[in-house]
Amino acid sequence: MYVYQEYDQQLLEERVAQYRDQTRRYLAGELSEDEFLALRLQNGLYIQRYAPMLRISVPYGLLASRQLRRLAHIVRTYDKGFCHVSTRQNIQLNWPAVEEVPDILAELADVQMHAIQTSGNCIRNITTDEYAGVNPREIEDPRPWCEIIRQWSTFNPEFAYLPRKFKIAVNAVADADPALIGVHDIGVQLVHGANGETGFQVWAGGGLGRTPMTGAVIGEFVPWQHLLAYLEAILRVYNKYGNRDNKYKARIKILVKALGADKYRELVEAEFAELKDGPMTLTAEEVDRVKACFTDPDYRTVDTAEVDAKLASDKAFSRWYHTNTRAHKQAGYRAVTLTLKKTGRVPGDITDEELEAVADLADQFSFGELRNSHQQNMVLSDVPADQLYALWQQLDALGFATPNLGLLTDIVCCPGGDLCALANAKSIPVAESIQRRFDDMDYVHDLGALDLNISGCMNACGHHHIGHIGILGVDKKGKEFYQVTLGGRGDKVSLVGEKMGPSFEADEITDVVEKIIHLYVEKRLENEPFIDTYERIGMAPFKERVYG
Amino acid sequence: MAKLILDGAIVDNQWQRLDADALANGLPDGKVIVPLDYWQSHRQALLERTDVGVCLEPGEEPRDLVDDLEALPLVAIHFPAFKDGRGYSYARELRTRFGFKGEVRAVGDVLRDQLFYMQRCGFNAFEVRADRNIEEALSGLKDFSVTYQGDVNDPRPLYRRA
């Protein structure tokens, strides 16, 4: 992972001092609520329903075991002993005290972590494929580019007070969208030009939230040297012309849609023409410096005979292997996902002791590194096949081996009304109710690939729009209701789902999901996944089944 | 006399900023900052003077002054609320696109915690909000010693400076 230089560390320490002073002035009454609001949000601190929430940045989801151990210490010391993996690959604390946040930041800075720009109207954490660097389908490792964008966006003086939040994702897989670039403010797609040179197709204007939509291609091929200049051009146009009167119309997607992609491109190209070939131009030397932080670990030759035998003889192990592990670019290795989705666990939640156990596993089995996924799971990316059985046994004991990755019960779910002040409805009990209804793992496996996402409000932290089945909590006259969308995608492509119809009460929603599933089972062709059946037969039969 | 931060020091504010109402009875002598539309409608006469600056509101861009920048000693950029970040891009454009060498002054809701960013975008003068301690605000210019990106003061990103 990225190796901090002295200046990176210095910057974090100066940030801790700055934020400590800001907190002091707020507590002393020298900063108004509104003034401190903007400052604390840029530091990921929300004041929530019962307590503040602190969102800790995990750049493109990547964590080292020593950082996991520090997180364990922090959640034990400053919180209630658990934290939450968010859908933007970050870590959230649910119960920190405002006055202790500077101390938490100091603890984080010790291990090269921070909460910079994890909220507020600025450029947020850069996200990517949780299998970045080991995915056999990627054309190039996207992580160095994520890091280069991270540095450019960190305390970028021009873009700290944008009209609204701004999310950038990077994808390096040609025929799928594991980073969800289609629904980001900017999506960066790594491509190779005619002569094999690296470049980027740059999307803008995607986003979930209140007005979900997929973005448009603004830059067809941006040579790698000009990536930052191009991003800066997009941001400058947005900073100048994005709506600042109405926060619900302030995202870049509204501007791109209002102007049209062609006009937006024209404005960007005019800015870009000025920046191109200027001092922002990336140098091969700098790119190589960053790339050198993401070289392959010390892979060895792996004898797979034993694991092959285990796969043939141990059904439970085989199911886990085929569900929760993924192909690796390196022969003999697998990427292993720890599903934080066992029934009874709040999706994405993990305790201090579990963090420490996972850190040990990362050290023992995967070169001391781990990734958070946007599906709120964790990934050990480099596990030799001959260690898989031993790892599986340990994961099973920890409750991280539930073989449901990418299946119905691997529910993506925001904290919702149980914790979040923005939420209109609870989401965690809905997830649990669905998991309990579908408690037959054979049946869940028979259903196959199925993304079910739940958000407690239209801010869409649970990414409900891109769930094959999406559930959105809404408030009607003080009562919780749930709206269902079908046909969203965050897999091969990013697509916004279609609303099914009137919303349902909390005690109806699990039955509704079951009806949708039953219809799918009746209508599917052999080996046809849910989303393909939906795209083939459309909304009408589902609607008829549910409302009829 | 009111104070402001100019080029890193606290000095007397020599300039008087007037809105349309205050200008209804004509332009006073001395250093004055006028709104863009006043400037535009009195341009010829004002170009005779060397002690008139222009204030841009959000939505009014430096390019609206492109023919006059050489003559202008000062451009003020108004922040009606500190969260309205358009002025950062305007300042940057003034400096890097139009090469403006005069004073770029932040006025309005100008607070200590934004000064570091403002300075990097090309502001060199700050009318800190009157109810705040300007000495304390001054230290905001030194919040960080490390910056990743290039900026108006040094266009080179960190790795080109090393």
Distance from CA of A395 to the nearest CA of B (A): 40
Question: How many CA atoms, within 13 angstroms, populate the side-chain half-sphere of residue A453?
Answer: 28
pLDDT at position A418 is 87
Do residues A58 and A90 lie in contact, with contact meaning Cβ atoms separated by under 8 Å?
yes
pLDDT band at B25 (very low <50, low <70, confident <90, very high): confident
Q: Which domains does chain A have, with CATH numbers?
A: 6-110 (3.90.480.20), 142-293 (3.30.413.10), 306-398 (3.90.480.20), 412-547 (3.30.413.10)
Do residues A62 and A1 lie in contact, with contact meaning Cβ atoms separated by under 8 Å?
yes
Task: DSSP for chain B, please give it.
Answer: --EEEETTEEEE---EE--TTTTTT-PPSSSEEEEHHHHHHTHHHHHT-SSEEEEEPTT--GGGGTTTTTT-SEEEEEESSTT-THHHHHHHIIIIIS---SEEEEEES--HHHHHHHHHTT--EE---TTS-HHHHHHGGGS-S--SS--SS--S-HHHH-
Task: DSSP for A501-532, please give it.
Answer: SS-EEGGGHHHHHHHHHHHHHHHPPTT--HHH
Q: Is A157 on the interface with B (CB under 8 A)?
A: yes
Pairing of strands A378-384, A333-338: antiparallel
Q: Is A243 on the interface with B (CB under 8 A)?
A: no
Query: Residue A386: is it exposed, middle or buried by C-beta count within 10 angstroms (0-12/13-18/19+)?
Result: middle
Residues of A with Cβ-Cβ distance to B157 under 8 angstroms: 152, 279-280, 286
Angle in degrees, 0-180, between the axes of helices A261-275 and A227-241, rounded to the nearest 10: 120
Do residues B89 and A240 lie in contact, with contact meaning Cβ atoms separated by under 8 Å?
yes
Contact at CB, B150 and A162, closer than 8 angstroms? no
To the nearest whole percent, how much of chain A has pLDDT over 90? 97
What average pLDDT score do residues B90-118 get? 97
CA angle A163/A166/A170 to nearest 5° reads 155
- Most A CBs within 10 A among B63, B112, B113, B156, hence the mutation to make, goes to B113
pLDDT at position A47 is 85
Q: Give the list of residues 6+ apart from residue A443 with CB closer than 8 angstroms, or none.
A: none
Q: Is A86 on the interface with B (CB under 8 A)?
A: no
Contact at CB, A14 and B146, closer than 8 angstroms? yes
- Most B CBs within 10 A among A161, A162, A267, hence the mutation to make, goes to A161
> pLDDT tens for residues A498-545?
999 999 999 999 999 999 999 999 999 999 999 999 999 999 999 999
pLDDT at position A198 is 97
Long-range contacts of A492-496 (CB under 8 A, 24+ apart): A492/A175, A492/A176, A492/A177, A493/A176, A493/A177, A493/A182, A494/A177, A494/A180, A494/A181, A494/A182, A494/A183, A494/A206, A494/A214, A494/A466, A495/A182, A495/A214, A495/A466, A496/A183, A496/A208, A496/A212, A496/A213, A496/A214, A496/A465, A496/A466
* Model confidence at A466: pLDDT above 80: yes
Q: Is B129 on the interface with A (CB under 8 A)?
A: no
Residues of B with Cβ-Cβ distance to A152 under 8 angstroms: 148-149, 157
Q: Please, where are the H alpha helices in A207-351?
A: 227-241, 252-259, 261-275, 284-291, 305-313, 315-324
What average pLDDT score do residues A481-510 get? 96
* Model confidence at A492: pLDDT above 90: yes
- Region of A463 please: left (phi>0), alpha (psi -120 to 50) or beta: left
pLDDT at position A343 is 92
Residues of B with Cβ-Cβ distance to A239 under 8 angstroms: 85-86, 88-89
Q: Return the amino acid letter for A308.
A: D
Q: Is A7 on the interface with B (CB under 8 A)?
A: yes
Contact at CB, B159 and A39, closer than 8 angstroms? no
pLDDT at position A40 is 96
Task: Report yes or no for ipTM above 0.90.
Answer: yes
Do residues B91 and B124 lie in contact, with contact meaning Cβ atoms separated by under 8 Å?
no
Pairing of strands B32-35, A216-223: unpaired
Distance from CA of B107 to the nearest CA of A (A): 16
Print burial letters for B123-151: b (CB count within 10 Å at least 16), e (below 16).
bbbbbbbeeeebeebbebbebbebbbbbb
What average pLDDT score do residues A231-235 get? 98
* Of A205 and A49, the one with more pLDDT: A205
- Of A101-110, A318-327, A410-419, B134-143, minimum mean pLDDT range: A410-419
Contact at CB, B160 and A278, closer than 8 angstroms? no
DSSP A5: P
pLDDT at position A89 is 97
Residues of A with Cβ-Cβ distance to B120 under 8 angstroms: 157
pLDDT at position B1 is 80
Contact at CB, B148 and A151, closer than 8 angstroms? yes
Pairing of strands A349-351, A216-223: unpaired
CATH of the domain at B136: 3.20.20
* Model confidence at A191: pLDDT above 80: yes
Q: Give the list of residues 6+ apart from residue A512 with CB closer than 8 angstroms, or none.
A: A484, A504, A546
Contact at CB, B82 and A244, closer than 8 angstroms? no
CA angle A6/A43/A145 to nearest 5° reads 55
Q: Is A279 on the interface with B (CB under 8 A)?
A: yes
Nearest CA in chain B to A236: B89
Nearest CA in chain A to B132: A30
Task: DSSP for A433-489, please give it.
Answer: HHHHHT--HHHHHHH-S--EEEESSTT-TT-GGGSSEEEEEEEETTEEEEEEEE--E
Q: Is A505 on the interface with B (CB under 8 A)?
A: no
B88, B147, B150: residue with CB nearest A280: B150
* Model confidence at B119: pLDDT above 80: yes
Rounding to the nearest 10 degrees, give the CA dihedral for residues A362, A374, A8, B149: 160
- Most A CBs within 10 A among B61, B83, B116, hence the mutation to make, goes to B83
Distance CA A406, CA A496 (A): 18
SS3 A188: strand
Q: Is A37 on the interface with B (CB under 8 A)?
A: no
What average pLDDT score do residues A337-354 get? 95
What average pLDDT score do residues A481-502 get? 96
pLDDT at position B30 is 94
* Model confidence at A92: pLDDT above 80: yes
Q: Cβ of A305: how many Cβ atoms within 10 Å? A: 10
What average pLDDT score do residues A259-286 get? 97
Q: Is A287 on the interface with B (CB under 8 A)?
A: no
pLDDT band at A172 (very low <50, low <70, confident <90, very high): very high
Number of structural domains (chain B) is: 1
B85, B156, B159: residue with CB nearest A160: B85
pLDDT at position A48 is 73
> pLDDT tens for residues A11-58?
999 999 999 999 999 999 999 999 999 999 999 999 877 789 999 999
Residues of B with Cβ-Cβ distance to A160 under 8 angstroms: 85, 88, 114, 117
Q: Chain B window 20-79: which residues touch A at a Cβ cutoff of 8 Å? A: 58, 61
Contact at CB, A156 and B149, closer than 8 angstroms? yes
Domain residues for the domain of B39 are: 3-161
Contacts across the A-B interface (CB distance below 8 Å)? 97
Contact at CB, B156 and A279, closer than 8 angstroms? yes
Q: Please, where are the H alpha helices in A96-251?
A: 101-110, 143-153, 227-241
Q: Is A239 on the interface with B (CB under 8 A)?
A: yes
Q: Is A159 on the interface with B (CB under 8 A)?
A: yes
Distance from CA of A61 to the nearest CA of B (A): 21
Do residues A344 and A295 lie in contact, with contact meaning Cβ atoms separated by under 8 Å?
no
Q: Is B116 on the interface with A (CB under 8 A)?
A: yes
* Model confidence at B3: pLDDT above 90: yes
